Structure 1
Amino acid sequence: MQKPQVLIGAATSGSGKTTFTLGLLRLLRKRGMKVQPFKCGPDYIDTKHHAMAAGEEAVNLDTFMASARHVRQIYTRYGTECDVCVTEGVMGLFDGYDKMRGSSAEIAGLLGIPVVLVLNAKSTAYSVAPVLYGFMHFRPELRVVGAIFNFVASESHYAYLRGACEDVGIEALGYIPRDERIVIPSRHLGLSIDESVCFDEFADTVAAVIAKTVNVDRLLELCTVDFPGQEVREESRQGNKRIAVARDEAFNFMYRENLEALKREGEVVFFSPLRDTVLPEADLIYLPGGYPELFLPGLSGNEGMRQALRAYCETGGRLLAECGGMMYLCEHITGTDGVTYSMVGVLRQEATMEQMKLKLGYREVVLGDKTIRGHEFHYSRVKPGTVGGANGVKVYNAKGEKVDTPVYRYKNVVASYIHFYWGEGRMEQLLDMLL
């Protein structure tokens, strides 16, 4: 079986991968095609935008947090029923956590996906030729089939770029003009979303632009290759647990495969720390990351939910909290404005958004001969309190260097800045390891 499959790569971050991907997803959706979006790496923000543009929830493909076998399985599983698979790369095409390891190029090679490069053409013309040549020939086993240029000033500017492609032997598939309407401000690629920007409208605008300036039909033709085939599903390991997952505007950073793994444990129900005043009956609670710092008055004002969570944890309830969810369990959160708000109070410490500094990277948590991997990405920090760490746990980065990211434990609560990935296994294995 063949179908269009494309990985949108770039020479560097900031080239326009996300902009073009959102526009392409929306344009294909408008054509009546069923599109399955994927995202290379651990990002849980781009995937939300993909879902909005495509009308289909995106899936992370990450070869640090999961095995190559698992990545192939989920690509096949989610891509089988769609008309076209669109994968957005991460950083530059060959940028990984260790040379090419974990890079978009590694994913493209693993899955046999053709690559279309998006290049920033601002203040350059024929000099894109050696750049394209290098990307085409650095790893000949990769199929770099076409190029799209961003920030193009005019048709004459694009003519120079097209000539460079002809001399290199790669197809020029079109361009994205300089247009303030289709520039995502840098803060939207970070941890906050400006509510004044409507990403649904944004995707429509980009789709309309690229419909005029990009040869999408040719892109699909060049990227139509053999699909891996129908996945052979393993026997379901359906359990009988009831798992409550926080999901609302404040808490929504979660990997799709993590939720699928929870469904194998039993019934998954959702609740809102912003609006619900009581917890659903549950054997296990998951507080994912998100934007609690944008909803501090609402979270603090919902005393019913704060008390319910505190009572659940104090009586031995099993709970996993990640990043924003961990902050919510603290006694207080101080916002960027310096105002401090009361939170759940299970973890005797304070989180603050003051003096923000980005901390990010892959993490491997080791306890004896057991390991679990994940990703850390936040601007907040925790002021040390009295809460202890999980006994014997060591945390390393992707290069095997020890890092100071804590994994907190209180009764049957595990909390950390780390967004864990258990899509290849079971959340219970993670908790059993740490409790």
Structure 2
Amino acid sequence: MKKVNIPRVVIAATQSSSGKTTVVTGILRALKNKGLNVQPYKVGPDYIDPSYHGMAAGRKGHNLDTWLVDESMINDLFVQESKDADIAIIEGVMGLYDGGKNGVSSTAQLAKKLNAPVILVINVQSMGDSAAAIALGFKLYDSDVNLAGVILNKLGSPTHKALIEEAMKKINVPVYGAIFRDDSVHMPERHLGLTPAGENNAREVIEKISEKIAQEVYLDEIIELAKTAPSIEVEEFEAENIKKDITIGIAQDKAFSFYYPASLAQLENLGAKLKFFSPLEDETIPDDVDALIFGGGFPEVFAQELMQNTSMIKSIRKANERKMPIYAECGGFMYLMQGIYDFEQRFYEMVGIIPAKAQMNKKLQTVGYVKAKILQNNILGKQNDEIKGHEFHFSTQIDTQDESFPWAFEFTKMRNNMKYKAGYAKDNIVGSYLHLHFLGSKQNAKYFVEKIRAYKKSLEMEEN
């Protein structure tokens, strides 16, 4: 075991839509502009917030989620990704104490696991002394959470600020920032929440936010608070030098951007070289890949462009005909179907290697943690193996009424134990709405990599 000292602080909130992502993104950039090497983290399974974190900090944002990755590995992941950083800033999820069933992967759980002080962002619009009552309630709810102070967001005036700061003094809760309401400072949104950073003028937005944060958040005091976090004890590991003997093509562009860096790194640790390509802009998949992964994203937004890139579609179909292992999640799953009906019911033909269609809906269809039981042996594992993951989608899988349809999984929702069949698995393909994390599903990562090796070996034998 070794002890590692990493200054760190958790930025939490009373509830969703309190402005914490805007505040955190601004803090990250403002600290970077002060010359600090800042490592960002996001509690929970969110993909989009870390894209802003990474752009603001100049380092990849990572997720900390005790459902997707076993709690025993969280500190190791945190220390590994924080190396060389001067400070780690961890954005919470929803409200401080909100998470999955029984509080799994809540911000409070992660703050206690990392022994990190917490700053609570409170939207104080139309509020006075009640803000202090809220802060006190959050502080007393769990004495094991080190709620060290608050950031007041959406203040209306200097008088409003003075009123609430005085109330906070009465309960001995320090104020680490007082942000005045400015409707021109906000993050761009659409149906899944924030618009991914790569799709808009995010750099300009981040700079504007950071300028405001640098003036209204007490950065030096936050840095000093972060330094009070005690050292973290972790296992000492020697990095294995594993030969990279297979290559996986990763679809990554504006349509497909939902990947956990540590999940992809797990595939690299098992001997895979990753080669990124764009189904939107490239003509074909890379020539030298042995497998394909299509992550989540927004194919419905770019459906016209995806449909028109027929050379890419043909190259994917040819790879499937060769029985190349292909794994797809959510948006990637939709892309591999016969087509997508968008929000206006316009149909766009897609790759067509999965015999189903995707239907966009006005309302969110499902969100939350699931267990996925494999229904038949496939490229991710054996029948009855279970994988932990999550779902978050507006679309539904349709035209799958055939009794012989090869469902990939039986999903169990963790909030209510509802069970239902999901996805598609046949021969070399697995696709579904499941988002998994290969670091937390190491056996499935290993199984997948071995299937890829077997495919590559079979091709080499055919050539010889």
AA in 1 matched with 2:9:
V
**Counterpart pick for 1:16 among 15, 19, 25:** 19
**Counterpart pick for 1:36 among 26, 36, 39:** 39
**Counterpart pick for 2:187 among 181, 184, 189:** 184
Q: Which runs of 5 or more structure 1 residues have no equivalent in the other structure?
A: none
Aligned to 1:303: 310
2:432 maps to 1:416: yes
Distance 1:401 1:175 in 2: 43
2:295 maps to 1:288: yes
Aligned to 2:262: 257
AA in 1 matched with 2:354:
L
**Counterpart pick for 2:273 among 262, 267, 276:** 267
After TM superposition, give the deviation of residue 193 of structure 1 in Å. 5.3
Task: Decide whether the 8 Å contact of 2:410 with 2:421 is kept in 1.
Answer: no
Aligned to 2:417: 401
Distance 1:2 1:173 in 2: 23
After superposition, give the CA deviation of every residue in 1:19-71 in whole Å (9 maximum; x if it has no partner). 10000000011111111000000000101111111111111000011111211
Q: Identity of counterpart residues, as a percentage?
A: 32
What stretches of structure 1 move > 6 A for 4+ residues in a row? Answer: none
2:61 maps to 1:58: yes
Distance 1:379 1:151 in 2: 31
After TM superposition, give the deviation of residue 416 of structure 1 in Å. 0.2
Aligned 1:215-234 pairs, distance under 5 A = 215-224=218-227, 225-228=229-232, 232-234=236-238
**Counterpart pick for 2:394 among 374, 379, 385:** 379
Secondary structure of 2:224's counterpart equals helix
Secondary structure of 1:348's counterpart equals strand
Task: Decide whether the 8 Å contact of 1:316 with 1:411 is kept in 2.
Answer: yes
After superposition, give the CA deviation of every residue in 1:237-258 in whole Å (9 maximum; x if it has no partner). 5552111111111111001111
Cα 1:363–1:321 shift into 2, 3 Å: same
Aligned to 1:170: 173
Aligned to 1:331: 338
After TM superposition, give the deviation of residue 207 of structure 1 in Å. 1.3
AA in 2 matched with 1:205:
K
Distance 1:64 1:156 in 2: 44
Cα 1:105–1:126 shift into 2, 3 Å: same
Higher alpha-carbon deviation: 393-402 or 116-125: 393-402
Cα 1:69–1:234 shift into 2, 3 Å: farther
Task: Decide whether the 8 Å contact of 1:43 with 1:60 is kept in 2.
Answer: yes
Higher alpha-carbon deviation: 183-192 or 342-351: 183-192
After TM superposition, give the deviation of residue 313 of structure 1 in Å. 1.4
| TM-score normalized with structure 2 length | 0.88
After TM superposition, give the deviation of residue 292 of structure 1 in Å. 0.9
Report the aligned-residue RMSD: 2.3
Higher alpha-carbon deviation: 187-196 or 251-260: 187-196
After TM superposition, give the deviation of residue 331 of structure 1 in Å. 0.9
Cα 1:263–1:90 shift into 2, 3 Å: same
2:224 maps to 1:209: no
Higher alpha-carbon deviation: 19-28 or 201-210: 201-210
After TM superposition, give the deviation of residue 191 of structure 1 in Å. 6.3
After TM superposition, give the deviation of residue 172 of structure 1 in Å. 1.1
After superposition, give the CA deviation of every residue in 1:233-291 in whole Å (9 maximum; x if it has no partner). 35435552111111111111001111101212321111111122222222221110111
Task: Decide whether the 8 Å contact of 1:5 with 1:223 is kept in 2.
Answer: yes
AA in 1 matched with 2:59:
E
Secondary structure of 1:95's counterpart equals coil
Task: Decide whether the 8 Å contact of 1:187 with 1:193 is kept in 2.
Answer: no
Distance 2:135 2:126 in 1: 16
Distance 1:104 1:111 in 2: 11
AA in 2 matched with 1:190:
G
